[in-house]
Amino acid sequence: MTVTRHELRQGRAPLAIWTASIGALMAMCILLFPEMKADMQGVSDLFASMGAFTQAFGMDRLALGTLLGFYAVECGNVVGLGGAMFAAMTGACALSREERERTADFLLSHPVPRAQVALQKLAAVLLEVLVMNAVLLAVSFVCIAGIGEEIPCAELLRLHGAYLLMQAELACLCFGLSALVIRGSAGAGLGIALVAYFLNLAANIAESAHVLRYVTPFAYAEGAEILERGQLDGGLILLGAVYALAAVAAGIRHYAQKDIR
Amino acid sequence: MQAIRTDKLTKRYGKARGIEELTLSVGEGELFGFIGPNGAGKSTTIRTLLGLIGPTSGSAQVLGRSVTGDRRALLEDVGYLPSETAYDAGMRVRDVLRYSASLRRRDCRAEAARLCERFSLDPARRVDELSLGNRKKVGIVCAMQHDPRLLILDEPTSGLDPLMQREFFALLEERNAQGTTIFLSSHVLSEIQRHCSRAAIVREGRLLACDRVEVLLGSNARRVTLRGEAELGALAGVRGLRGTAEGMSFLYSGEMRALIGALAGQPVDDLTIAEPDLEEVFLHDYAKGGDAHDGHEA
């Protein structure tokens, strides 16, 4: 696991920065909840009159006056989108960075098969995503305890489990891409994360766009639906896993055969 | 056994040329020079030998293993110094050396320390703060610390100061004496001339010649530049004579005594006799694809 260890060491700073930024935003949202709780009925009424906007964020199905409803909307968006951007960018740079920064000749002139190099890099990306989500979950527990609310453990684990799976899928999709795109891979990764996010909004708004739920991983990380159903959507997760595996397999296959620049 | 063998090795980048039907072999234990001007295809050849890029056609073997086969086995006994050495930002020299050794699953600490000391390389320095020459030294230690059977060095002396170049070649000769095969790519003719027994010349992706170095350099031509006026008469070995603002310049491959004799007594104010640079050798001897020395498989 030499390459994985090296990648984790190299990725420490971005991981710390992204985790701290998302964690701080999330903590801020949670710490604001007691103050906003009293006004939430009015806010809910306001959102209820906003039609498509309310539907897009699942607010028509959530009670914003409750901790879980508020958490699923506010923190869900912060952790979901922020984490997705980090995961996509990290995945998209995993293989391409070596060629872009001209360190590929050094790494690949060692006796390690390229497929193994790629798998070890993927392991590092997924571990980073896991660490970020573990820290964010811990921050969430501490902040909720800090405002004196009861911690809804099962629901939070379900929500954060879904965020983790969604980020892992995006990381895998972008990892596959990183074998193909050398320059601009970070931008491409961010683009994929944002497009996936907006596809889910579109799927929530229009019935005709409902099919997009089978494309974007944000569909199974939708807070409103997870809380409503009390469980994750296994079918969508399985479909996402198939997409992720296909992207990883295609990426590794291409990386193992490509000419290194 | 041959350490390197290529057979009609060709690499094209789309329509662009890389190397064309390169056939050469390097015996085990040789210190072999690979010469050519920039863009001749030296790095393409080396990167194909290391499996970093795949051949378009033809074949190549390194230490008896195909370059398109198992990469782990292929690279196990090879040390490689790329022409441009780049490492991940923020790493210290010792981190790079440990990472390299760890990728080879070997403990190279003792040899790394010895090489760092020899090259006055501080293992605690950050690689992104190092000069080009010091980064090159890191690459040299990485390539050598595991004591490989074959060393492939691409433009190894660029950035090294003359003292370090001397130390580097002393080390190469020690390793070569211990049986290490060395494949040395360079565009510096004097390096190849001084240290290699055999060499291949490439130009525009094609092998022009492959032979013992003294045969390749043939006439031991020198660039003669003189200030003043001189009548060379029928002096044998004069080529490419051209006038300069203050005198004349030509390539000379005859007896030095005859040249000095011919110039004696003539109004010559200054005289410079120097090794021609590689470009000149190419222009005069290999300009049209090897008309001076026939390229042939070694």
Q: Return d(Cα B210, Cα A86) in angstroms, integer.
A: 53
* For testing contact with chain A, the best of B47, B52, B138 (most A CBs within 10 A): B52
Q: Between residues 32 and 91 of chain A, which touch chain B (CB distance below 8 Å)?
A: none
Domain around A131: 2-257
Q: Check whether residue B15 and residue B67 sit in a common domain.
A: yes
Q: In terms of DSSP H, where are the helices of chain B?
A: 42-49, 71-75, 93-103, 109-118, 132-144, 162-177, 189-195, 213-217, 256-263, 278-285
Q: Check whether residue B79 and residue B188 sit in a common domain.
A: yes
Partners of residue B99 in chain A, C-beta under 8 Å? 2, 6
* Interface pTM, i.e. ipTM: 0.86
* B267-294 tens-digit pLDDT: 999 999 987 765 566 566 655 444 444 3
Q: Check whether residue B210 and residue B226 sit in a common domain.
A: no
Residue in A closest to B68 by C-alpha: A257
The minimum CA-CA distance between B262 and chain A, rounded to whole Å, is 54
The number of residues making up chain B comes to 298
Q: Check whether residue B267 and residue B141 sit in a common domain.
A: no
Domain around B145: 2-217
Domain count of the fold of chain B: 2
Contact (CB, 8 A) for B37 and B203: yes
Tell if the CB–CB gap between B88 and A105 is shorter than 8 Å: no
Q: Which of B151, B185, B217 is the last residue of a domain?
A: B217
Q: Return d(Cα A35, Cα A28) in angstroms, integer.
A: 12
Tell if the CB–CB gap between A260 and B52 is shorter than 8 Å: yes
Partners of residue A112 in chain B, C-beta under 8 Å? 71-72, 103
Q: Check whether residue B60 and residue B174 sit in a common domain.
A: yes
A105 touches B: beta carbon within 8 Å:
yes
A260 touches B: beta carbon within 8 Å:
yes
Nearest Cβ partner for B87 among A2, A106, A109: A106
Tens of pLDDT along chain B (298 residues) come to 799 999 999 999 888 889 999 999 999 999 999 988 888 899 999 999 999 999 999 999 999 999 998 888 889 999 999 998 899 989 999 999 999 999 999 999 999 999 999 999 999 999 999 999 999 999 999 999 999 999 999 999 988 999 999 999 999 999 999 999 999 998 887 888 889 999 998 988 999 888 888 777 665 778 899 999 888 888 888 888 888 888 999 888 888 899 998 898 899 999 999 877 655 665 666 554 444 443 333 3
* B84-117 tens-digit pLDDT: 889 998 999 999 999 999 999 999 999 999 999 9
Domain count of the fold of chain A: 1
Cβ contacts of B288 within 8 Å, gap of 6 or more? none
Q: Return d(Cα B220, Cα B108) in angstroms, integer.
A: 43
Tell if the CB–CB gap between B74 and A111 is shorter than 8 Å: yes
